[in-house]
């Protein structure tokens, strides 16, 4: 690949009439896409500032988007229901106990959602794509966390076991075999 030349550019700020130097060195192609230069009289290349580009352009690092939003959690083994019960009995910190209760509650709600999904599936069969995607998400979450525990889940567990046997080998089957 040939030599890549970069230049400094100046432009006239249309708001106040000042001539300003663009803060980054740009190639001709980059200058053609630079919003600041396009908005302010397209800028002027300063030919006497020509230099060979070495490495990545400086503007790339300056305009990198900082990650925002919810950070992903690291991979971990989900605690089984019995482990959560034991941890709840052992811990006295009310915040820890509240989080444990929230996890158990969320798992029970997922079981209820599975039951509702089965009712809808019996009515509409496999005609609802979104419901099938929801079923897959719930099923993957169940496989990830293992058995949920609790008396309200006994029926759901037996139906899930029967469904897994009908559909073939699933990750949950190897847990039950142990």
Average pLDDT value for the chain: 78
Look at residue 92 and tell me whether its pLDDT is greater than 80. Answer: yes
Instruction: Let me know: does 58 contact 30? Beta carbons within 8 Å.
Output: no
pLDDT tens digit sequence for 67-77: 777 788 788 88
pLDDT confidence of residue 97: 94
Instruction: Let me know: does 160 contact 114? Beta carbons within 8 Å.
Output: yes
Look at residue 106 and tell me whether its pLDDT is greater than 80. Answer: yes
Q: What is the mean pLDDT of the segment spanning 112-117?
A: 81
DSSP string, 64-131: PPPP-SPPPPPP-PPPPHHHHHHHHHH---HHHHHHHHHHHHHHHHHHHHHHHHHHHHHHHTT--HHH
Token pair in block for residue 140: 């993957």
pLDDT confidence of residue 96: 93
Structural Rg of the chain based on CA atoms: 30
Look at residue 30 and tell me whether its pLDDT is greater than 50. Answer: yes
How would residue 99 be classed by pLDDT, with cut points 50, 70 and 90? very high
Q: What is the mean pLDDT of the segment spanning 152-174?
A: 48
pLDDT tens digit sequence for 120-150: 878 877 677 777 778 788 888 778 776 655 4
pLDDT confidence of residue 130: 74
Domain assignments of the chain as residue spans, ordered by start:
5-62, 81-167
Alpha-carbon distances, residue 164 vs 1, 102, 119, 132, 151 (angstroms): 57, 27, 18, 15, 21
| Bridge partners (DSSP) listed for residue 20 | 11
pLDDT confidence of residue 159: 52
Conformation bin of residue 6: beta by default, left when phi > 0, alpha when psi is -120 to 50: beta
């Amino acid at each position: 690949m040939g030599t890549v030349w970069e230049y400094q550019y100046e432009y006239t700020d249309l708001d106040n009439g000042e001539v300003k130097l663009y803060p980054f060195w740009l190639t001709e192609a980059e200058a053609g896409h630079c919003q600041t230069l396009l908005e302010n009289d397209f800028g002027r290349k300063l030919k006497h500032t020509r230099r060979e580009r070495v490495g990545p352009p400086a503007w790339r690092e300056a305009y990198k988007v900082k990650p925002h939003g919810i950070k992903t959690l690291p991979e971990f083994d989900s605690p089984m229901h019995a482990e959560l019960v034991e941890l709840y009995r052992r811990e006295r910190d009310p915040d820890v106990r509240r989080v444990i209760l929230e996890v158990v509650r969320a798992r029970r709600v997922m079981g209820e959602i599975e039951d509702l999904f089965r009712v809808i599936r019996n009515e509409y069969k496999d005609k609802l794509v979104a419901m099938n995607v929801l079923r897959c998400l719930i099923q993957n979450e169940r496989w990830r966390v293992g058995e949920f525990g609790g008396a309200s889940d006994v029926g759901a567990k037996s139906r899930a076991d029967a469904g897994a046997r009908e559909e073939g080998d699933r990750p949950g089957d190897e847990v039950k075999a142990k």
